[in-house]
Structure 1
Amino acid sequence: MSQKTKGVELLLGDPRRAIIKLAIPMMTAMFVQTLYNLADGIWVAGLGPEALAAIGMFFPIFMIILSFAAGIGIGVNAVISQKIGMKDKNSADEAAKTAIFLVLVLSLILTISSLLLIKPTLRLMGARDDVLQLSLDYSNIILYFIIVFMFGNVGNAILRGEGDAKRAMYAISIGSILNIFLDPVFIYTFKLGVKGAAYATIISAAVGCFLIFYWFFIKKSTYLSIDLRNFRINLPALKDILSIGIPASFAQLSMSVAIFILNSFATRAGGQLGVAVFTSAWRVINLGTIPMIGASTAVTSVVGAAYGARDAKKLETAHLFAIRFGFFLGLCIMTLILLFAKQIAFIFTYSQRGQIIFKDLVDALMVLSLFLPGTPFGMFTSAMFQGIGHGGKSLAITIFRTIVMQVFFCWLLVNVFQVGLSGVWWGIVIGNLTNAVVAFTWSRFVIKDLKVQFQNLG
């Protein structure tokens, strides 16, 4: 398809309308995906704590693998939207083809290396006996199909890059909903246990992956023309994708590292129960950030198109509107958590043993809810930097928030002032707010420089 699609027209039109129209489908898709993750845990929990622990052991490894796909996806999303803004469809086509080739090669490398390393890695993480075997049963199935997850992730990013957020939503949501229903069938009806959970996950991901494949290569109904016959690596496109994608992958990894460090502070301040409080409260806060994560993908696409068109005013409008939109969302979610903190805490502490952490969990939710209104300033600025191809700046914003500011203030309050467990919550909030001020200030200087740069070019 060579004519402009509705998605492309959206990217090239009013940035405020584009942010809303692109954000809502991705917010919906990520909410459905979160429901699947919750349902998956519930179904597996029926097999016993060993099965739940086994999948929990594999989860961070799988997230590291997917961080590579996420990085490539962010890179190709930004590059495609930039080229569309430039009205250079041929270069956008080349970027999409290069990203698909890159993900095929990377999937092969990761599949072979992860299959060889999975057992010693799980042992290193502390998996033993039944938990180790169950984790291997699950992971050895998933790892053979890394290509499915990586292609789905990057294909989804290509759709977002050309402004087709609705089909991106369909691919994610259909697979996630299917998985919710397949889990009990494979786990309990077919009596496959954790292997059944793995098969259900693969089949569901494959359905979403096939939809993307069908749109790209069979129906050919996307704006971009993706034909891999006689394909040759486009080095400029590869360089552009990796310059954004590699920092984005490291940003994903830095967040995992930060959670590990924050867990250690929670342990120091409150023992094992402190970790239980942090884990439970942070799940709620992460749920609250889902709408913003969905909106951030829209920011990258819309800003990328504005940058490609050398339209600094449109770029600035998109960035500021997104922040106002995200700030309003954050205030609303924060208010809901503050109003219903006790009810939310009860969900995690309904057992007799769980009641021991009820008060601490309520306190944690009350403080950590303040994290949400400040999040868009850093998150959307990071997405804006990705959209204009400044991957290093995006990585710097993420590391400054997660590993520098949050860790520093947690250390200060827990180790120096010895505030206790509440010091962890206030450290996270103060670190995030500090980052919000720095990130937003930095964004204003960058946009100001872009205005001057574009005026000189014009």
Structure 2
Amino acid sequence: MSTSTSKVEDTKGVSVLLGDPKKAVLKLSIPMIIAMMINSLYALIDGIWVAGLGDTALAAIGFVNPIYLIVMGFPSGIGAGATAVISRYIGARDKKQADNAALHVMLLTVILTIIFTVVILLFLKPILLMFGAGSTINLGLDYGNILFLGSIFIVFSSTAYGVLRAEGNVAKTTYAMLFGAILNIILDPIFIYSLNMGVQGAAIATVISLALVSLLLLYWFKTDTYIKFSLKDFIYDNEITKQILNVGLPAGSEFLIIATLSGSLNLILIMVGGVDAVAVYTAGWRVVMIAMVPPIAIGASIVAVTGANFGANKFKNIDIIHSYGIKIGMVIVIIVAIAIFLLAPYISYLFAYSPESEGLRNVITDFLRVTSLFYLFLPIGISSTSIFQGVGKGLDSLLIVVVRNLILDVLFAYLLAVVLGFGQYGVWWGIVIGNALGSAFAYFWSKYYIRKMEKTREMEKAVIVNESNEFM
């Protein structure tokens, strides 16, 4: 037995990945939920502090959000590709290739950073105008220019989290995200109000937080992780890059779809309710993003566990992983939905505590209560797309997101808000209905694929047995 193989077997994270599939999903999901919940505080904290500057400032960062989703999304997609590919190598007991794949991820990180920094800073103004920023354009530029100058930290942290998930090391992911969120909580009021920098201060606080998180992650990868970054061992392999991108590009494109969805909804909201409608959506969606964390975290765990079992040829476990992920996700989101529905009037105060924004309080409360129904279908859709990512079928995952988030959500939002005249309330109900139908589509497609994969595997086993019998 080689040293590499022995080390794989002795690694706690790998043992979890290749152990009981239900326990693996649960053990990875709990700290992942905590980690992602902490990470989502970036957006929530920025929103709460910026709300004190008025509804125009809040709407301005709302117009920047779709672009931020793109900048964060493609690295997160590459991180998902890293999770799927590296975990499959770990499942196959090939540590050398797992390390080499991680270095390929870092190469892609550098390339993405250069592209995003140059393109977005050059075209930020026309993009914001295209999304309907209008009178908020200057505040949007103040916030966005600084935020996207820190693209390297956004990109690196997102891809690094994917590598940590691949080795089952969710504890360090949690610590890094917690560290960054605490920094952001401390720095936001200092830069926004004490130094009187407004929305620029919110962006500076976020960039500094992500920069220090990135330094912490680099230190860990050098000293205290299973996957190691050693340039002397790097051997470029087109096949590894292709495997990462097969999942990473579609997964990253999912964020592009979500960003397009956000931009499209902003345009519809401008049509039916003006800047105030965008401000309500911007504030309320930050709460929705936190409520989405549990099913998203479970989905990220499903990618890792599915990839490891796929690499180990344990195909029957994949259906167990899928069903169990949906089950625990549903339990959590039902509790979250009830809590947000009941606490909506108090939560809305966080975004409408100043004289400039207090008029939005009741409408934000209504938004939070309507979108409580949105959460109930998330575990089904997200768990289903995660199965496809885990087995390397990124395009299938992307197509589901296009149908669920772009086609159905925008279609029903426009139909209810504009055609039927329900205004911004129609947009909210359109999101709920579109997500419900899209999640059902994702579920049935994933179940069909899993059954087909199991059947193919059984046929392959039968052929091997027959050939063995004939040889004997």
TM-score by length of 1: 0.88
Residue in 1 that maps onto 2:430:
427
Where does residue 77 of structure 1 map in the other structure? 83
Does residue 161 of the first structure (1) align with residue 166 of the second (2)?
A: yes
Contact 1:156/1:171 (CA < 8 Å) preserved in 2? no
Residues 204 and 366 of structure 1, relative CA distance in 2, 3 Å threshold: closer
**Displacement of 1:430:** 2.1
Alignment CA distance shift 1:393-1:342 (3 Å):
same
- CA apart distance, 1:119: 5.3
C-alpha contact 1:111 1:144 (8 A) present in aligned 2: yes
% same residue? 40
Query: How far apart in 2 are the matches of 1:356 and 1:201?
Result: 28
Distance 1:61 1:243 in 2: 23
Name which of structure 1's ranges 414-423 and 145-154 shifts more when overlaid on structure 2. 414-423
- 2:25 aligned with 1:22, yes or no? no
Matches within 5 A, 1:112-127: 112-118=118-124, 121=127
Structure 1: distance between partners of 2:300 and 2:396 = 17
Question: Aligned to 1:34, which of 35, 40, 65?
Answer: 40
Among 237, 261, 265, which residue is 2:264 paired with? Answer: 261
Spell out, residue by residue over 1:58-104, the C-alpha distance to the aligned partner (whole angstroms, 9 max, x if none): 44333322222112111111111122122222222221111111111
After superposition, give the CA deviation of every residue in 1:321-344 in whole Å (9 maximum; x if it has no partner). Answer: 010011111211122233334444
Q: Does 1:389 align with 2:395?
A: no
Q: Check conservation: 1:326, 1:373, Cα contact below 8 A.
A: no
- 2:66/2:260 contact within 8 Å kept: no
Q: Secondary structure at the match of 2:150?
A: helix
Counterpart residue number, 2:155: 150
**Match for 1:60 among 44, 58, 66?**
66
Aligned partner of 1:455 in structure 2 is: 458
- 1:382–1:229: structure 2 CA closer, same or farther, 3 Å change rule? same
**8 Å CA contact 1:36, 1:177 repeated in 2:** no
Partner of 2:183: 178
Which of 271-280 and 171-180 deviates more?
Answer: 271-280
1:146 is displaced (CA, Å) by 2.1
Matched, 1:282 2:285: yes
CA distance in 1, matches of 2:270, 2:286: 17
Measured after TM superposition, the shift of residue 311 of structure 1 is 1.1
Give, in whole Å, the separation in 2 of the partners of 1:144 and 1:358.
33
1:95–1:123 Cα change, 3 Å: same
For 1:409, give the aligned amino acid. F
Q: Tell me which residue corresponds to 1:226.
A: 229
TM-score w.r.t. length of structure 2: 0.85
| SS of corresponding position for 2:231 | coil
Counterpart CA distance in 2 for 1:193 and 1:353 is: 15
Instruction: Say if 1:329 and 1:373, in contact at 8 Å, map to a contact too.
Output: no
Distance 2:357 2:115 in 1: 44
Letter in 2 for 1:368: T
1:116 to partner: Cα distance: 3.5
* Alpha-carbon distance, 1:358 to partner: 5.6
Residue 115 of structure 2 is aligned to residue 109 of structure 1: yes
Residue 241 (structure 2) pairs with residue 235 (structure 1)? no
Q: Which moved more, 1:238-247 or 1:264-273?
A: 264-273
C-alpha separation between the residues in 2 aligned to 1:63 and 1:135? 15
My pick for the range that moved more, 84-93 or 43-52, is 43-52
Which region of structure 1 is more displaced relative to structure 2, 188-197 or 31-40?
188-197
Does residue 1:406 correspond to 2:412, yes or no? no
Instruction: Describe the shift of the 1:42–1:298 C-alpha distance in structure 2 as closer, same or farther (beyond 3 A).
Output: same
State how far apart, in whole Å, the 2-side matches of 1:102 and 1:449 are.
33
- Aligned partners of 2:199 and 2:279: how far apart in 1? 24
Letter in 2 for 1:365: L
The secondary structure found in structure 1 opposite 2:93 is coil
Distance 1:12 1:46, change over 3 A: same
Which of 369, 372, 377 is matched with 2:372 structurally?
369
Question: How far does residue 213 in structure 1 lie from its aligned partner after superposition?
Answer: 1.1
Does the 8 A contact of 2:52 with 2:353 survive in 1? no
SS at match of 1:22: helix
1:305 maps onto 2:311 in alignment: no
Q: Give the count of matched residue pairs.
A: 455
Report what 2:325 is aligned to.
322
The answer for unaligned runs of 5 or more in structure 1 is: none
Q: C-alpha separation between the residues in 1 aligned to 2:193 and 2:425?
A: 42
**Secondary structure at 1:315 match in 2:** helix
Q: Which runs of 5+ in 2 are unaligned?
A: 462-472
Q: Give the 3 Å change call, closer, same or farther, for CA 107–313 of structure 1 in structure 2.
A: same
Could you tell me how far apart the structure 2 residues matched to 1:124 and 1:52 are?
A: 18
What residue number does 2:205 align with? 200
**Secondary structure at 1:229's aligned position in 2?**
helix
Q: How many angstroms apart in 2 are the aligned matches of 1:449 and 1:6?
A: 32
Alignment partner of 1:296 is 2:319:
no
- Shift of residue 209, structure 1, vs aligned partner: 1.1
Residue 16 of structure 2 corresponds to: 10
Amino acid at match of 1:377: I
